Amino acid sequence: MNRSGAGNRPLEGLVVVALEQAVAAPWCTSRLADAGARVIKVERAEGDFSRAYDQFANGLSSYFVWLNRGKESVVLDIKADDDMAVLKRMISCADVFVQNLAPGAIDRLGLGIEGLRRRHPRLITCSISGYGDHPPYNGRKAYDLLLQAETGMASITGTPDGPGRIGVSGCDISCGMYAHAAILEALIARSLTGEGQDLSVSLFDSMADWMAVPLIQFDGTGRGPERVGLAHASIAPYGVFRAGDGSSVLLSVQNPREWVRFCRDVLLDPTLAEDPRFIDNVSRVRHRQALDQAVEAGLARYDRARLIAALNAAEIAFGMLNTVADLAVHPHLRRTDVLTDAGRISVPAPPAISNGCPRPLAPAPALGQHTHQIRAEFSA
């Protein structure tokens, strides 16, 4: 690994070739680009189909701008011999090759991962798929919402009236995160052994890991958690409650000390903490309906401002039920800009801050913006 990168660009000198589209793989490679890796994104003539998801970013796709900053775009017809030759030369010079083509497509193209690893033993390959490499579902196409349903995530999301979708692409994003972490681990291992790795990450496995607690609960009880809307299936009180003026606050009591303080200092009824129905978290969950009624009765004396003051004074965790409009002006929202050919687009800043310094983001490429340069660089 080239160690010339410093500070906020520790992956500088690494080359990543990405045969990718949509969300999961681009999320992974965008974070490698953020850290300084050179990411060459291979696109078809019509481009990554996420370029057409919407037009909300000054006429460009919000998904594409968010997930493809810092990359170079080369248009190749990989079914044509000359363009395939260019791609193979790119891979021969790469440290990492990421692909999330349809099941079986990479083998049909003659780019089987086993052969690539044999020819390039230092290469780290990462294949992202819906269900992984093994039957029975490995040949299925898979997208985020389908996997939210398939893994049971949708069954525990929503209200008692019906299941719901997580409001963002949770399966895709989690899969991209796991792929990113696996690649970084493989880079560390390669620095010690000199050998690359063949990585495989699936949307199903990624969301199944997020479903660990509901699954363990099912194994222990024979039933999964009930859908409770804006409440917590395993902790109470934890949900949205109304103050006397009708305003809503989402509050959470996590441990016995907080429960005693909440009853004494906020609800002004210390006897609730000793009620056998509410004596511990398991009991409170079991008697959630009665608990919620008691909590709302205690909160009825407050308006929003006084309730917030009381919760702060009692050191009880709470949050406001904000909209996206509220997020846009939230005092803790850190923003940064991505430059595009349609102008600057504001996006949330990367969560990790290194040595107190935010990481600037490189531009998102126009379709085929770097085709001529890359063809010349990797010509025979």
Q: Residue 292 maps to which CATH number? A: 3.30.1540.10
Query: What integer pLDDT is reported at residue 7 of this predicted model?
Result: 59
Residues 6+ apart with CB under 8 A from 7: 354, 355, 357
pLDDT of 124 over the 50 cut: yes
With cut-offs at 50, 70 and 90, classify the pLDDT of residue 170. Answer: very high
**pLDDT surpasses 50 at 2:** no
User: What mean pLDDT do residues 311-338 have?
Assistant: 93
- Whether residues 373 and 246 share a domain: the answer is no
232 annotated active-site: yes
Sheet containing strand 15-19, strands side by side: 71-75, 38-43, 15-19, 96-99, 124-129, 198-202
The Cα 17–Cα 162 span in angstroms is 42
Residue 306 Cα distances to 2, 258, 317, 335, angstroms: 57, 19, 15, 31
**Closest C-alpha to 368, from 50, 48, 16:** 48
CA distance 29 to 190: 18
Residue 6 pLDDT exceeds 60: no
Q: What percent of the chain has pLDDT over 90?
A: 84
Domain with 285 in it: 238-320
pLDDT of residue 200: 96
| Amino acid at site 80 | A
25 and 168 part of one domain: yes
203 and 107 in one domain?
yes
Are 253 and 112 part of one and the same domain?
no
Residue 223 lies in a domain: no
- Position 229 scores a pLDDT of 87
Q: Is the peptide bond before 136 cis (omega within 30 degrees of 0)?
A: yes
- Tokens 């589209």 appear where? 21
Q: Are residues 204 and 72 in the same domain?
A: yes
User: Residue 27 is part of a domain; what is its CATH number?
Assistant: 3.40.50.10540
Once rounded to an integer, what is the mean pLDDT over residues 202-208? 96
What pLDDT was estimated at residue 245?
93
Q: Looking at residue 80, what is its pLDDT?
A: 93
Distinct helix (H) and strand (E) counts, the chain: 15, 13
Band of pLDDT at residue 141, cut at 50, 70 and 90: confident
Is the model's pLDDT at 379 over the cut of 90?
Answer: no
| pLDDT tier at 323, thresholds 50, 70, 90 | confident
Task: Tell whether the model's pLDDT for residue 1 goes beyond 50.
Answer: no
Specify whether 298 is located in the same domain as 338: no
Query: Quick one: pLDDT at residue 9?
Result: 86
**pLDDT (tens digit, 9 = 90+) per residue, 38-78?**
999 999 999 999 999 999 999 999 999 999 999 999 999 99
Residue 292 φ then ψ, to 5°: -60, -40
| Model pLDDT, residue 5 | 42
Cα–Cα distance, 48 to 37 (Å, whole number): 20
Q: Which residues contact 128 (CB under 8 A, 6 or more apart)?
A: 20, 24, 25, 28, 98, 99, 100, 175, 176, 179, 201, 202, 203
Mean pLDDT of 144-155: 94
CA–CA distances in Å: residue 183 to residues 14, 50, 52, 126, 358:
12, 23, 28, 7, 23
Say how many domains are in the chain.
2
| Cα 231 to Cα 159: distance, rounded to the nearest angstrom | 10
Among candidate residues 232, 287, 332, 372, the one labeled active-site is 232
Strand partners, 72: 40
